[in-house]
């Protein structure tokens, strides 16, 4: 696993696949670059994928509180993206927290992004500013997590978080090493509220999303928290030409639990076949406007 100081932060990353087209993969909170193993195996002939461990995750250095975590992660993504194709734009795939970094990267450094695939982006501010009922419903439950964090009950906070955003298993039923990994990093969740809840980066400023000029695919699971549909619905209404993919039976961790259901549509979104050649017209045409059966 390569390692270097990127954006002044010691960072590890993985390189997966052997395809001619470079891609940047950005994982979700409380995970690491290994979360892409299953999906990358299905894309490896078409893409060469670089996946960093984001600050505080995996083998990258801990986040010490400065600079702001979301901005730091975006700066790391930008430096890596610039290195992959010698400054030419690359395909960017992000999941959850990583999806919000991918979106910010495309808005702040459009020269670096060829396409966007946003899997369950947790950009709650989009649903809040649009005044969606799903945001109001979701906000009612949030104090339970906030109180647990304020009282230093990190295990309880991690249980709450995992019950909503995990793979359906209880935190206490997970292997101890994996459970401790999540509990030890649970403070990273509120550390990005400035962007995810309050849009401190200004991504929702009128006209900004509308300015995106790259193909965008939004993916969500049919069993995901309702706020995800509200986020993707709002983003799709503002980003020109956006397509959406619904994966019935999947939850928030769809790239881990259902990689075979999304690999083909992702490649079609990129205009690629499984071998890295051009995608058949039929594959492109069916990419996403209806749920994936």
Give the C-alpha separation, 4 to 105, whole Å: 20
- pLDDT at residue 283, rounded to an integer: 47
CA quadruple 83, 88, 93, 97: dihedral sign: positive
Q: What percent of the chain has pLDDT above 90?
A: 90
Nearest to 199 by CA among 124, 136, 137: 124
pLDDT confidence of 285, banded at 50, 70, 90?
Answer: very low
How far apart CA 180 and CA 169 sit, in angstroms, is: 15
CATH no., domain 3-132+192-285:
3.40.50.1820
Task: Say whether pLDDT at 1 is over 90.
Answer: no
Cβ partners under 8 Å of residue 135, min gap 6: 124, 127, 128, 227, 230
User: Of the candidates 103, 106, 16, 88, which has an alpha carbon nearest to the alpha carbon of residue 52?
Assistant: 16
Residue 226's pLDDT is 96
User: In the predicted model, what is the mean pLDDT of the chain?
Assistant: 94
pLDDT band at 287 (very low <50, low <70, confident <90, very high): very low
Give the integer Cα–Cα distance in Å for 260 and 119.
14
Please state whether beta strands 216-221 and 243-247 pair in parallel, antiparallel, or not at all (unpaired).
parallel
pLDDT tens by residue, 193-216: 999 999 999 999 999 999 999 999
Q: Is the pLDDT of residue 293 over 90?
A: no
Give 278's DSSP letter.
B
HSE value, Cβ hemisphere, 13 Å, CA-based, for 157: 23
Q: Omega of the bond prior to 67 within 30 degrees of 0, cis? A: yes
Alpha-carbon gap, residue 80 to 190, rounded angstroms: 25
**C-alpha pair distances (Å), 248 with each of 30, 243, 284:** 24, 16, 20
Tell me what the mean pLDDT of segment 70-88 comes to: 95
Q: Any idea which residue has 């940047």 for tokens?
A: 24
The predicted pLDDT at position 251 comes to 97
Tokens of 286: 């069916």
CA 172 to chain centre: 25
Asked if residues 22 and 47 have their Cβ atoms less than 8 Å apart, the reply is: yes
Please say if the pLDDT value at position 289 is more than 60. no
Q: Identify the pLDDT of residue 281.
A: 55
pLDDT in tens, 6-25: 999 999 999 999 999 999 99
| pLDDT at position 276 | 81
Mean pLDDT, to the nearest integer, of 112-116? Answer: 98
Average pLDDT for residues 19-45, to the nearest whole number? 97
Domain range summary for the chain, segments of one domain joined by +: 3-132+192-285
The per-residue pLDDT for 87 is 84
């Amino acid at each position: 696993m390569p390692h270097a100081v990127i954006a002044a932060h010691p960072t590890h990353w993985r390189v997966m696949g052997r395809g001619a087209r470079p891609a940047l993969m950005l994982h979700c909170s409380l995970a690491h670059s290994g979360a892409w193993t299953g999906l990358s195996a299905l894309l490896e002939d078409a893409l060469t994928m670089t996946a960093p461990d984001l600050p505080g995750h995996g083998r990258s250095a801990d986040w010490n509180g400065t600079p702001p975590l979301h901005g730091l992660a975006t700066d790391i993504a930008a430096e890596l993206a610039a290195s992959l194709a010698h400054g030419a734009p690359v395909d960017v795939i992000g999941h959850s927290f990583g999806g919000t970094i991918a979106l910010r990267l495309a808005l702040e450094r459009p020269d670096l992004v060829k396409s966007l695939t946003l899997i369950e982006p947790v950009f709650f501010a989009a649903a809040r500013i649009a005044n969606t009922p799903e945001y109001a419903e979701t906000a009612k439950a949030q104090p339970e997590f906030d109180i647990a964090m304020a009282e230093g009950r990190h295990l309880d906070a991690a249980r709450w978080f995992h019950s909503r955003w995990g793979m359906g298993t209880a935190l206490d039923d997970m292997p101890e090493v994996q459970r401790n990994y999540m509990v030890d990093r649970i403070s990273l969740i509120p550390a990005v509220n400035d962007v995810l809840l309050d849009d401190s980066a200004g991504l929702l400023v009128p006209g900004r999303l509308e300015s995106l000029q790259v193909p965008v695919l939004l993916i969500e699971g049919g069993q995901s928290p309702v706020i995800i549909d509200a986020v993707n619905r709002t983003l799709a209404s503002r980003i020109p030409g956006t397509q959406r993919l619904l994966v019935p039976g999947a939850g928030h961790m769809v790239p881990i639990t259902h990689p075979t259901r999304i690999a083909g549509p992702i490649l079609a979104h990129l205009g690629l076949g499984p071998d890295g050649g051009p995608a058949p017209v039929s594959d492109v045409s069916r990419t996403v406007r209806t749920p994936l059966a």
